[in-house]
Every structure is written in structure tokens, then in C-alpha cells.
Amino acid sequence: MQRLGEMILKYGEGIGDSIVKVDYFLNHRVDCALLWEMADEIKEHFKAKGIDAVLTVEASGIALASFAALALGVPMVFAKKHETKNQSDACLEAKVHSFTHNKDYNIRINAKHLNRGDGILIVDDFLADGEAVRGMRELIRKAGCELKGIAIAIEKGFQKGGKELRAEGVDLLSLAVVEKIENGKISLNPNY
């Protein structure tokens, strides 16, 4: 997606050889007009795929997932990373390994919030090794739902998540793919 690519090149910062810092427009300060355009691309790609709900993980996936769900006319559910009080209902839980923070954490949703048989679209801000997606797919399986596709703002093309999902035949829409980070410079795959 051209405008996202331009924003990454203009405002993104490459840190080390694997971190893409885009907190100026994507996941801390949020450029809502840009995200709405991104949501429209997601809608165009998935509108005929039988999506009943959008699933993401707090916190940085919520804005894009909400916009995608609004565009598709479906609800959005975000999995929680942190224990919450007031959680009286049965939960579905999955373990996620974070390579960034080098630790495991659990994500969970209220079991009532996905209906058995629903077609689910996963939306997230980043795809790297695919660990968060793996956890969300486990929640989808446990809920008896069907994964219809995955929409990602920025895929790190040099990590394995995207390759594995495509090899598996998952309908994966990455709006931008970072090929390389070198000396602070971010290179994008020109095919996205």
C-alpha cells in the first residue's frame, strides 16, 4: 500500500537489524486517516470471505482492527495480555512467546465473545515470527471458529511468520513488507 510505504520511509526508524519504530503514526500516535485507508484495503480484500468478527491482541492492534471491523460491518474482539479483575466468565487462553521481550505470556478472551462457527479475520500491526498470530489461531480453534484470513499493517519480510503462513495457504494480506534494516535505514519490498 503506497501511502503506508511512504509513511514508513518518512517517519519510521530502523533500530538495530530488526526493529521498525513507527510509533509516530501506527502504534502510539495513530494517524487515523491513514488507518482508515488501510482498513478500506482490508475490507476490499476480505469483504467476500465471510468474516463475522475481527480478532486482535491489545494494545497496538486495536486501532487498525477497530477500523477494519467498522469497514466490514462486524464486531472486533481484542485478546487481553494482562489479568483483569471483573473476569467472572470462562476464558479461552493461549500462550505466546515474545522474541522481543524474550518471555512467554498468555493471551485470553471471554469464551462468550466468539460464536462457534464464526469466520474470523485476524488483524494486527506487525507480523514478525508469527507468535502472536499463532496464539490468536489457538483461541480461534478453541472457540470453534474458522480463520478466514490475516491482515497485517507491517510484515517483517526477513522474519519467518509471513513465509510460513503463505506456505500453509493462509490468506495473508500485508499492507507493507520491510525487507531489511541497515544502519537505521528501512528498505521496503516494492511489491507491497
**21: CB partners within 8 A, 6+ apart:** 12, 13, 14, 15
Check residue 59 for interaction with a second copy (CB under 8 A).
Answer: yes
Residue of 49, 95, 112, 141 interacting with a second copy (CB under 8 A): 112
50: three-class secondary structure by DSSP = coil
- In DSSP notation, 127-141 reads ESSSHHHHHHHHHHH
Residue of 86, 90, 169, 191 interacting with a second copy (CB under 8 A): 86
Rounded to a whole number of angstroms, the minimum distance from the CB of residue 132 to a second copy is 14
Check residue 77 for interaction with a second copy (CB under 8 A).
Answer: yes
Rounded to a whole number of angstroms, the minimum distance from the CB of residue 168 to a second copy is 28
CB count within 10 Å of CB 7 equals 18
- Residues found in the chain: 192
The letter for the amino acid at 4 is L
Window of 2-10, 23-31, 116-124, 134-142 that interacts with a second copy by CB under 8 A = 23-31
Burial class (CB in 10 A: 0-12, 13-18, 19+), 81: middle
Residue of 2, 15, 44, 182 interacting with a second copy (CB under 8 A): 15
Check residue 121 for interaction with a second copy (CB under 8 A).
Answer: no
Chain residues 28-57 in contact with a second copy, contact rule CB under 8 A: 28-33, 35-36
Check residue 23 for interaction with a second copy (CB under 8 A).
Answer: yes
Window of 21-29, 127-135, 158-166, 179-187 that interacts with a second copy by CB under 8 A = 21-29
Secondary structure element (H or E) that encloses residue 8, with its range: helix 2-11
For CA atoms 134, 136, 142, 143, give the dihedral sign: negative
Footprint of a second copy on this chain (CB under 8 A)?
A: 15, 19, 21, 23-25, 28-33, 35-36, 58-59, 62-63, 66-67, 69-70, 73-78, 80, 82, 85-86, 88, 100-101, 109-110, 112-113
